Chain A
Amino acid sequence: MEMTAPFYKYGLFGDEASLLVAFLIGIGFGFFLERAGFGSARKLVAQFYLTDLAVFKVMFTAIVTAMLGVTYLAWMGLLDLSLVYLVPTHWAPQILGGLVLGVGFVVGGYCPGTSVASLATGRLDGLVYALGIGAGTVGFAFLFPLLRGLYYATPAGPLTLPQLLHLPYGVVVFAVVLMALAGFYGASLIEARASRKEG
């Protein structure tokens, strides 16, 4: 039988095994976050002071790497893109949620993933942040009856950039690569200026 991804959707493994797979991938993710220095809030917030844009560069590199990988796997017929799960778009709540997450990132110094990596290395601020995530999640659940309207507002269904922009898939891929390279160049200029100021 030919192998086609997503493996889970084609029933290669079931619900229980998928938890194990997720666990292993999660461990790997956390390991590399820590190795990149992202277990430290100082490193993470440096991007907001424009002194160290490593987070921006790492995230954009991850996006480009994954995007190219997925594109080529689909092109070779090894991955069925129509079966890859897409979180349905809800414009208003997701823009608002993004802003809340951004503010929380600046104030707390972590995003959810990095806070757990930080907690795993024994940092106290990571623990506080993770407890905050837990409290926020529970609070959201209790307030959900009030927030329901906002939560389901402005639905657009599962939406991809090629659909939204009416552009061929490959054109969007190329545009994102160009955007990333321009972003990396801009980041290097900003970092050079910051180190001149310090020096």
Chain B
Amino acid sequence: MSRAWFSKLSLEQRLALAALMLGGLALFARTDGGNVVRLDVKELAGIVEREEDHVTPLELADWILARRADYRLIDVRSDTEYAEYHIPTAENVPVGSLPDAALLRNETIVLYSDGGIHAYQAWLLLRAKGYRSVYTLRGGLEQWKEDVLFPVFAENASPDEQARIAKLREVSRFFGGKPRSGDEAPAAAIALELPRVDLGAAVGVVPRQGKKKKEGC
């Protein structure tokens, strides 16, 4: 019988044979998931429907002001656009270089682009590559300008509203913006005088990885 030779082998030889077979099969192993992926379409649709896929500009502004370091803000536009203006603390990873970017799958990542389409495409790419907590900035840079840099406030606001507006004015000034009144030019039109904020003193002192896990042996 064909099994006769196997029964003659010692335990060591059988284990060696098993290791050899497993090692041989490992020649074909893909350990990085590869570039061909499977997506749980239903799960993704649910995330989009429940609006769990984005943060709003004001939320992001809060995170930056709170010096949160437990997420990474990624600007997926080109490096020239990034050099022109980017949201403070953002890192530049153009969409094309996303597949090779040094992003870890257990990091919280917030993506943004001009309008948001590139960011949403990048969101899908990262989800497909197994990243769990990826978000986009709702409305992208355009909404960031509308809501954070150059917000419009009603002239005749109630006292309650006034307090909120005062805070938003402060936020706007912190990021180098300027609150507008309703009849001024739309935010998109003031693109050329975008502020250059040097947050080196304000934000740069915070270590990149606030919650860096201790590791090593």
Contacts and interface: CB of A to CB of B under 8 A. Distances in A.
Contacts of A184: 12, 16
Contacts of B215: 85
Contacts of A180: 19
Interface residues of A, number: 31
Contacts of B105: 80, 82-83
A64 B29 CA distance: 16
A178 B31 contact: no
A177 B214 CA distance: 32
Contacts of A74: 29, 31-32
Contacts of A170: 26-29
B29 A81 contact: no
B216 interface: yes
Contacts of B19: 64, 68, 177, 180-181
A72 interface: yes
A89 interface: no
A149 interface: no
Interface in B8-31: 12, 16, 19-20, 22-24, 26-31
B26 A83 contact: no
Contacts of A72: 22, 26, 29
Interface string B56-100: 000000000000000000000000000000000000000000000
B213 A177 contact: no
A20 B42 CA distance: 37
A167 to B, nearest CB: 11
A99 to B, nearest CB: 19
A17 B214 CA distance: 13
Contacts of B213: 8-9, 15
Contact of A71 (B29, B33, B106): B29
Contacts of A178: 20, 23
- The binding surface of chain B is classed by DSSP as loop
Interface centre among A9, A71, A82, A181 (most CB of B within 10 A): A82
A174 B16 contact: no
Contacts of B216: 85, 87
A61 B104 CA distance: 31
A72 B30 CA distance: 9
A82 B29 contact: no
B104 A173 contact: no
Interface in B191-217: 213-217
Contacts of A173: 23, 26-27, 29
B176 interface: no
B27 to A, nearest CB: 4
A144 interface: no
13 contacts: A9-B213, A15-B214, A64-B23, A68-B23, A68-B26, A82-B32, A85-B215, A168-B27, A170-B29, A171-B27, A177-B20, A180-B19, A184-B16
Which 10 A-B pairs give the minimum distances between C-beta atoms?
A: A177-B23, A74-B31, A173-B26, A170-B27, A85-B215, A75-B29, A174-B23, A170-B29, A170-B26, A9-B106
Interface of A: 4, 8-11, 15, 64, 68, 71-72, 74-75, 77, 80-83, 85, 87, 168-171, 173-174, 176-178, 180-181, 184
Given A75-B31, A170-B27, A181-B19, 12 more contacts: A4-B130, A15-B213, A15-B214, A72-B29, A74-B31, A74-B32, A80-B130, A169-B32, A170-B28, A173-B27, A176-B23, A177-B24
